[in-house]
Structures are given as C-alpha cells and as structure tokens.
Amino acid sequence: MKQAVSTRLYPSKAPLEWAVIGNGTLYTAQIPIDVEGRVVEGGIEAQTRQVLDNLKRTLTCAGLGLEAVTQVLIYVTDRSYLATVNAVYAEYFVAPYPNRAAMVVAGLAREEMLVELVVYAAA
C-alpha cells in the first residue's frame, strides 16, 4: 500500500507523485524546478540548491527531516559537476551521511536540467 505525500511543489504534468510512502519508506525524486515549474538558471550550484530545497520541503511535508534520508542516487549530466554537488550536499547533510551513488548520464527529462536526485527516507 502506498500513500501520496502532499508536497505543495509545482504540480507535475507527468503521471507521478513527487513523493509516496510505502512500507515505512518515503520515495521521492527531486528536480531543479521553482514554484512556477521552471528549471532554475544559474548552473549546477543553483540547480543543486533548488533540488535540495525541494527535498527539504518534501520531507517536511511528510513530517520528516534530512536525518531520515537513508539513500541518495545522484544523476548529473557532466562528471565535472560532482565536485559542486558534493560541496552543496555537504551543507545540507551531516554525519552519519546517507548511503549514496552518483551517475553521469547523457541527459535528464528536461534538457536544461543538470542534476536530479532520487531519495529514500525512513518514514
């Protein structure tokens, strides 16, 4: 059984929920969009901050905090972005850090997106 989390993020046009809880786990994928659904400008640092701010909002809506995050899958469109993602990520998370993996991909759902996170958290 799964339950959608009302995140108050920009409603997606795709058939998806920004977050669901099932079997005690919150599942979410976050992209660098603002409250109007636009991909933020400003490069990888601005996009990473937007993704992590969207994640914080989602977790808060589910009654959770960043400490509940158990695993993060990071997708970037260029290997050189990983250093910036790591630096911004370290501003949001503290030890013990979530388990994570990072992947360099040819592209994401929206051409202007440089980063996306898939996150699992203990609910």
Helix spans in the chain (H) = 43-61, 82-92
Sketch out the chain's domains with CATH numbers. Answer: 20-122 (3.30.1330.40)
In 3D space, the residue among 70, 73, 64 whose CA is nearest the CA of residue 121 turns out to be 70
pLDDT in tens for each of the 123 residues of the chain?
Answer: 899 999 989 999 899 999 999 999 999 999 999 999 999 999 999 999 999 999 999 999 999 999 999 999 999 999 999 999 999 999 999 999 999 999 999 999 999 999 999 999 999
pTM equals 0.97
Question: Which CA distances in Å does 77 have to 32, 86, 114, 123?
Answer: 13, 15, 5, 30
